[in-house]
Amino acid sequence: MFVVVGVTGGIAAYKTVQLVRLLVKDGHEVHVVPTDDALRFVGLPTWEAISRHAVTTSVHDDVARVRHVALGQSADLVIVAPATANTLAKMTAGLADDLLGTTLLATTAPVVVAPAMHTEMWRHPATVANMATLRERGVIVVGPDDGELTGGDSGPGRMTEPEAILERALAAVDGGARDLEGLRVVVSAGGTREPIDPVRFIGNRSSGRQGVAVAMAAADRGADVVLIAAHVDDGPLVEACAHPRVRIVRAGTAAELGEVAAIEADSADIVVMAAAVADYRVAEVSPLKRAKESAPGDGITLDLIENDDILAALVRARRDGQSIVGFAAETPGEGETLLERGRRKAARKGADLLAVNEVGWERGFESGENALAIIDASGDLVASATGSKRDVAEVLWNAVLKVRGSRAEIE
Ligand code: CTP
């Protein structure tokens, strides 16, 4: 394959050396097109040595071979890694003031971008709007990952690792990246909040990041997605809002989520219940802030009522051909492994798949990483995944497609 790798001015450019190496090792013809700024991070000789082709940033070199459009025309795949906020803005506007800009305008090949920048820049409304436009035009966005950034900051903005970029890019060329096209997907995410009074609630530690990653992955693979958002951290929600194929419906309490889920699932092909739904609600929600009437050390009692099991209700109402996926956040118990607990829950819930993940004081929450074991209704392990919440989401969708495929074969 003829692959163009655009490199722009971010420190993550050093990781792109590995990406180019992997592509060359895979037998592809790789042409690196750095911006001038990128060369301040990794020099031109490195790109030439690793790609084994001449490298230039200028539209004025190699003019006889019309290089400014020839690379784009010849490309089977264009990857821009790292893609800075500036380059993404230039791509959105269609600016072509350097060789990378002209190449991007001249190509009809799949374009994959791996953004890398500080979280503030990634979440700036300008970048958010640019990403929406690029996605709408069919650009495949890989990452950014959540983690440590230069200068000690941390959050979404880290360039995805070269191996993962390569995998997604090759899938894009195979058309595999659009394998959910035409499917209507509903994903619930985040933690519900059950009010006690106007100022207090019973909630949980779910940030909604895993559910949002599941929704975004489905949308990037071509599905039309409804994201039912309980309490979700602002960052992931802003990203989801900007996706042209994600519609967001808010639901605060378990009861609200149940109502919305029933309506949205009615026409869905696949439903994923990633939300952390409260098992109980407060029996009598006080219309006024409850005053403290106890003394230090005294106990008080709050009456709770069990909520309906939304997942179980969805399974009962499941229409033909609909797939339903549940999540189970488990703390390893005494005398029972995580998988055994998951299997019992899978049998009880009746969903097609159950994604089991271990949680604890230090695990599972408020982190960019996750580890999942995915089991089917009979308790068999279908897949397991460890990595960023997005990586894990991709594995989950592969598993969903696998069970849908094997069910279609039986029918
Ligand atoms: N779930 C649901 N409705 C509820 C509780 C949970 O739909 N009232 C869904 C969750 O969205 C998740 C799955 O059921 O997909 C498992 O949730 P979990 O809280 O692990 O299971 P519970 O049934 O509440 O079992 P337990 O609390 O005993 O572990």
Asked if 50 and 6 sit in the same domain, the reply is yes
Asked if 329 and 255 sit in the same domain, the reply is yes
- Give the per-residue pLDDT at 182: 94
Give residue 274 CA to ligand 1 midpoint distance, Å. 9
CB 217, CB 243: distance < 8 Å: no
Asked if 292 and 391 sit in the same domain, the reply is yes
Please count the structural domains in the chain. 2
Overall average pLDDT of the 161-175 stretch: 88
**Atom number in ligand 1 closest to CA 188:** 11
Give residue 329 CA to ligand 1 midpoint distance, Å. 9
200: domain CATH number is 3.40.50.10300
**Atom number in ligand 1 closest to CA 328:** 20
- Say if residue 61's pLDDT is above 80: no
Give the residues surrounding ligand 1 with Cβ less than 6 Å away. 254, 273, 275, 277, 279, 307, 309-311, 326-329
Give residue 276 CA to ligand 1 midpoint distance, Å. 7
DSSP, res 9: S
Residue ending a domain, among 137, 152, 177, is: 177
Asked if 333 and 233 sit in the same domain, the reply is yes
Asked if 48 and 116 sit in the same domain, the reply is yes
Catalytic residue among 130, 204, 357, 370: 204
pLDDT interval class at 237 (50, 70, 90): confident
204 classed as catalytic? yes
Q: Which two tokens stand for residue 311?
A: 């997942």
CB 11, CB 103: distance < 8 Å: no
Overall average pLDDT of the 169-185 stretch: 85
Asked if 251 and 313 sit in the same domain, the reply is yes
19: domain CATH number is 3.40.50.1950
- Pairing assessment for the beta strands 369-376 and 381-388 based on DSSP bridges: antiparallel
Residue ending a domain, among 177, 192, 212, is: 177
Indicate the average pLDDT of the chain.
Answer: 92
**Atom number in ligand 1 closest to CA 312:** 7
Give residue 277 CA to ligand 1 midpoint distance, Å. 6
Asked if 139 and 205 sit in the same domain, the reply is no
- Say if residue 239's pLDDT is above 70: yes
Which of 382, 151, 404, 163 has the alpha carbon at shortest distance from 269?
A: 404
Asked if 228 and 159 sit in the same domain, the reply is no
Window from 138-142, 145-149, 215-219 with minimum mean pLDDT: 145-149
Q: Which residues contact 236 (CB under 8 A, 6 or more apart)?
A: 207, 208, 209, 212, 213
Asked if 156 and 49 sit in the same domain, the reply is yes
- Give the per-residue pLDDT at 177: 66
pLDDT interval class at 314 (50, 70, 90): very high
Residue ending a domain, among 111, 146, 177, is: 177
Count, in order, helices (H) and strands (E) of the chain.
14, 19
- Say if residue 180's pLDDT is above 90: yes
Asked if 164 and 202 sit in the same domain, the reply is no
Element (H, E) at 234: helix 234-241
Asked if 121 and 137 sit in the same domain, the reply is yes
**Atom number in ligand 1 closest to CA 310:** 7
Question: What is the residue with the minimal CA distance to atom 12 of ligand 1?
Answer: 327
Backbone φ/ψ region at 218: left (φ over 0), alpha (ψ -120 to 50), beta: alpha
Q: Which amino acid is at 291?
A: A
Q: Which two tokens stand for residue 242?
A: 């900007």
Asked if 94 and 164 sit in the same domain, the reply is yes
pLDDT interval class at 365 (50, 70, 90): low
Cα 42–47–50 angle (5° rounding)?
Answer: 125
Whole-model pTM: value is 0.82
- Give the per-residue pLDDT at 279: 96
Structural domain of 144: 2-177
How many CB atoms lie under 10 A from the CB of residue 120? 12
pLDDT interval class at 176 (50, 70, 90): low
